């Protein structure tokens, strides 16, 4: 005889394996439309993206590049937090800095007509411009650290070697009432530092 008063069985806890399987199914039809998914929050997973862009699960690096790229494709930023999202569940993860790292850049054109394209550690390519803003912040040591938007608020930190290349593509231009050293891309000027402070990165 069934006890109809028994409490319902608890929902299974989310797992990296389950998230990966759901993401894989969704990806068969093309890039996952993460911006259209609004599933319920199912808790946090012990997944961490380190500052160098490496992914870790339960304290162990995720060595499979395909799995990292799959997780990266379902990453979403909401309310300042990062989540992995499938059509049926959303789990929180830890991101030490930016979720991606820009590991290369290439430029076409010159001056205000220049377009600079960045490549990330997970294979994304993005051209800085009106839809992919570039910003610069000062690190704890005072060095300038640029970030470029990859998609829907998710950013890539520009790594040091790429920043050195980026500096060679920069120019001085008027901005906010003064002269700034910065990057033209996609018809937009992105200021990095006031011209008086312009110097090669440390």
CA angle in degrees (0–180, nearest 5) for 156-158-159: 120
Residue 29: predicted pLDDT: 66
Using a 10 angstrom Cβ sphere, with 0-12 exposed, 13-18 middle and 19 or more buried, the burial of residue 121 is: buried
Summarised one tens digit per residue, pLDDT across range 162-185 is 999 999 999 999 998 899 999 999
Q: What order do you get walking across the sheet with 171-175 strand by strand?
A: 171-175, 178-185, 188-194
Q: Which of 126, 76, 78, 121 is nearest to 100 (CA)?
A: 121
Burial of 160 (0-12, 13-18, 19+ CB in 10 A): exposed
Domains contained in the chain, CATH given: 16-95 (3.10.540.10), 100-197 (2.30.270.10)
SS3 label, residue 60: strand
Is residue 14 within 8 Å of residue 42, measured between CB atoms?
yes
State the pLDDT at residue 23: 74
Confidence of residue 6 (pLDDT cuts 50, 70, 90): low
CB-CB contact of 68 with 62 (8 Å): yes
pLDDT at 104 over 80: yes
pLDDT of residue 9: 46
Tokens of 97: 């800095």
Alpha-carbon gap, residue 143 to 194, rounded angstroms? 13
Residue with tokens 């938007």: 149
Tens of pLDDT, residue by residue over 25-79, are 766 667 888 989 999 999 999 999 999 999 999 999 999 999 999 999 999 999 9
Secondary structure (3-state) at 42: strand
Residue range 144-158: mean pLDDT, rounded: 96
At 12 the pLDDT is 59
Residue 7, pLDDT > 60, answer no
d(CA 126, CA 56) in angstroms, rounded, equals 25
Higher per-residue confidence, 92 vs 15: 92
Average pLDDT, the chain: 89
């Amino acid at each position: 005889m069934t006890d109809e008063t028994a409490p319902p069985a608890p929902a299974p806890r989310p797992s990296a394996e389950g998230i990966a399987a759901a993401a894989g199914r969704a990806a068969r039809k093309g890039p996952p439309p993460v911006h259209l998914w609004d599933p319920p929050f199912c808790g946090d997973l012990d997944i961490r993206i380190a500052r160098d862009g490496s992914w870790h699960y339960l304290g162990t690096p995720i060595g499979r590049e395909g799995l990292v790229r799959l997780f990266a494709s379902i990453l979403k930023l909401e309310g300042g937090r990062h989540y992995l999202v499938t059509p049926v569940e959303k789990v929180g993860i830890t991101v030490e800095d930016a979720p991606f790292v820009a590991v290369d850049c290439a430029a076409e054109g010159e001056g205000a007509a220049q377009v600079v394209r960045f490549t990330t550690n997970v294979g994304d390519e993005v051209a800085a411009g009106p839809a992919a803003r570039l910003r610069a912040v000062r690190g704890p040591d005072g060095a300038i650290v640029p970030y470029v938007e990859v998609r829907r608020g998710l950013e890539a930190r520009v790594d040091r070697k790429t920043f050195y290349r980026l500096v060679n593509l920069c120019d001085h231009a008027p901005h906010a009432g003064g002269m700034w050293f910065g990057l033209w891309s996609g018809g937009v000027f992105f200021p990095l530092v006031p011209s008086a402070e312009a110097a090669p990165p440390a």
